[in-house]
Homo-oligomer: A and B are copies of this chain.
Amino acid sequence: MPKQESKSTRSDPSRAVAFSDAVIAIVITLLVLDLRPPETEPGELLDGLLSEWPTYLAYAASYVYLAVIWLNHKAAFTRIREMDRGLQWANLGILATLALVPWPTAAIAETARTGNLEDERVAVALYAIVGALLCLSWLVFFSYLARHPDLTKEEVSDSYFARERPRALIGVALYVAAGIAGFLIHPLVASVIFLLLPAFYGLTSHGFDQQPAILRGGQKRDNTARNSSPKSS
């Protein structure tokens, strides 16, 4: 009975995908559009532009991070057949936290410019909190799908999203660790972890099974690929 009720409010994911694309496109674009010519005295534009290098670096890193999130989002939704209300809210949680990313990014860029070590510690801690929240929202999303295999496409193996959870959990742990290390030891320690984590997620965006072919038997991987990687439509 409760099963039946929940089914009646299900829908295919097309509108949620379009909505998510719009949100991610706005966040990633406004990040870049935030770049403005510095307000400098006449003749000092070049100095002004050059002194903003931490901003360029921070925005480039955030752009890559958000691009990785979008690719991961796309990879996950090619495997989803239907959405119920719980999955809608899990997705809205991801969107809410990813839209926060430009906020600590700007804080890191500004404190890098002013060079106050105390503020730099606070800024990397803020970034670590937002990063951990973002990984947490993915953990909720993957866990929900792991517990509701009827929402995924038929060709996706039942354990696919269960096996995705460690990826998100590692992120939560590493962001928390980076925040603590950046706050207690030095902000630079945190910054290095912040740059490495998106790379890790970029390389594993289709799951642990797909990428590290070197680490696993090719035979088994092929089967997994056939079972769990439908084309999006």
Q: Interface residues, chain A, CB within 8 Å of chain B?
A: 1-2, 4-5, 8-12, 14-15, 17-19, 21-30, 32-33, 35-37, 40, 42-46, 49, 63, 67, 70-71, 74-75, 78, 85, 88-89, 92, 95-96, 99-100, 102-103, 106-107, 110-111, 114, 116, 118-119, 122-123, 126, 205-206, 210, 213, 218, 221-222, 225-226, 229, 231-233
- Nearest B residue to A74 via CB reads B15
- Taking A10-B231, A29-B23, A71-B85 as contacts, is the C-beta distance between A5 and B122 under 8 angstroms? no
A37 touches B103 (CB 8 A): yes
Additional pairs, 4, CB under 8 Å, beyond known A15-B17, A23-B29, A43-B116:
A1-B222, A19-B24, A19-B70, A37-B110
- Assess the A45–B10 pair: CB atoms within 8 A: no
Q: How far is the CA of A218 from the CA of B5 in the complex (A)?
A: 9
Residues of B within 8 A of A103 (CB): 33, 35-37
Contact for A29 among B26, B111, B231, CB less than 8 A:
B26
- Contact A122 to B46, CB < 8 A, known contacts A21-B15, A71-B85: yes
What are 30 of the A-B contact pairs (CB < 8 Å)? A1-B213, A5-B210, A5-B221, A8-B206, A8-B226, A8-B229, A9-B75, A9-B210, A10-B231, A11-B232, A15-B74, A19-B25, A19-B70, A22-B22, A23-B29, A26-B26, A26-B30, A26-B33, A27-B29, A32-B100, A33-B102, A35-B100, A35-B103, A36-B103, A37-B106, A42-B114, A45-B118, A45-B122, A46-B119, A63-B96
Which of A19, A42, A123, A205: most chain B Cβ within 10 A?
A: A19
The smallest beta-carbon distance between A30 and chain B, in angstroms, is: 6
Question: In the complex, A225 Cα to B10 Cα: how many Å?
Answer: 11
Q: How far is the CA of A80 from the CA of B187 in the complex (A)?
A: 44
Smallest beta-carbon distance A111→chain B, Å: 7
